[in-house]
């Protein structure tokens, strides 16, 4: 571990930027002139889940972590929030920040957002890191099956999404696959629960869960894009994740033989228990991607 990795006193800047008429809250750290990494969050959380990782990476890299519209501290927009919309707003935000080259770190919902951005702007992508961010049908775990039933009949299976967005559902997602279910910071979990308890934000989350059905039909295209472009790729995965299982990580290596695949003995929110391993792997990856 380098001196830059060990430093944890990195100052984090907090700003809300207006992009396409909507506010986007951003946590940012490091020298803006340094090579950039963009941390794309996943449901049910936002950039505050990356607090410790931002501090670890900001000493050596330019770190940008946005909250999607309607998530975290970004206001709820007036229009429906879809994955296409999130990718459009996020790409526009990065351009507005002056970033013309970056590595995308994709977690959970971050994968369909990031792959849309990468496919649309391949010249801007210096590399891809997937941490339990799925792009393969074989990576979908059994607990996601009820969502497919809900997609098939939204009214009849209403209880599925209600449970998923409940306080118990949010807590269960944070704990999923962890060796120690109590390892997740209760303050971070409580913030996610409190935000999703707001009706307008809950509606955004429900809308995105509904829109997730647009992603599996695009998996083959994203895999083909990886095979054709072969960007530097790291799939670092909590192998105990019941939602996105290890086959999802291995799919990156199948699509891009140059990809590095690392399986960790932890769950969906891998940073909870394996921050050191993930931060060290990211630092090494960024060093290779930007050499």
By annotation, the residues acting in catalysis are 268
Cβ atoms within 10 A of the Cβ of 68, count? 28
Residue 140 β-bridge partners: 244
Burial (CB count <10 Å: 0-12, 13-18, 19+), residue 20: middle
Helices 110-120 & 219-229, crossing angle to 10 degrees?
50
Tell me the Cα Rg of the chain.
Answer: 17
Q: How many residues does the chain have?
A: 291
Report the 3 state secondary structure along 247-289.
Answer: HHHHHHHHHCCCCEEEEECCCCCCHHHHHHHHHHHHHHHHHHH
137 near 216, Cβ under 8 Å? yes
| Torsion sign (Cα): 116, 226, 232, 44 | positive
Looking only at the bridges linking them, the beta strands covering 36-40 and 22-29 are unpaired
139 near 254, Cβ under 8 Å? no
Picking from 92, 133, 121, the residue whose alpha carbon sits closest to that of residue 233 is: 133
């Amino acid at each position: 571990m380098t001196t830059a990795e060990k430093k944890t006193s990195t100052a984090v800047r907090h700003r809300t930027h207006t992009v396409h008429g909507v506010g986007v809250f951003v946590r940012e750290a490091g020298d803006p002139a340094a090579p950039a990494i963009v941390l794309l969050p996943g449901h049910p959380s936002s950039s505050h889940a990356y607090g410790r990782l931002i501090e670890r990476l900001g000493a050596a890299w330019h770190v940008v972590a946005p909250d999607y519209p309607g998530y975290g501290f970004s206001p709820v927009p007036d229009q429906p929030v879809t994955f296409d919309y999130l990718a459009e707003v996020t790409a526009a935000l990065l351009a507005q920040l002056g970033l013309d080259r970056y590595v995308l770190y994709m977690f959970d919902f971050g994968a369909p957002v990031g792959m849309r951005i990468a496919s649309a702007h391949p010249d801007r992508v210096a590399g891809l890191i997937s941490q339990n961010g799925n792009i393969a049908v074989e990576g979908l775990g059994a607990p996601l099956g009820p969502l497919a039933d809900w997609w098939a009949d939204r009214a009849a299976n209403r209880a599925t999404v209600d449970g998923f967005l409940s306080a118990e559902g949010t807590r269960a997602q944070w704990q999923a696959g962890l060796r120690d279910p109590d390892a997740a910071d209760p303050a971070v979990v409580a913030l996610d629960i409190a935000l999703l308890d707001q009706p307008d934000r809950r509606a955004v989350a429900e809308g995105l869960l509904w829109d997730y059905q647009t992603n599996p039909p695009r998996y083959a295209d994203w895999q083909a894009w990886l095979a054709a472009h072969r960007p530097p790729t790291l799939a670092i995965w909590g192998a105990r994740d019941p939602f996105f299982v290890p086959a999802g990580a291995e799919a990156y290596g199948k699509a891009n033989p140059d990809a590095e695949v690392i399986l960790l003995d932890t769950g969906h929110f891998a940073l909870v228990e394996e921050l050191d391993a993930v931060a060290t792997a990211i630092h090494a990856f960024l060093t290779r991607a930007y050499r």
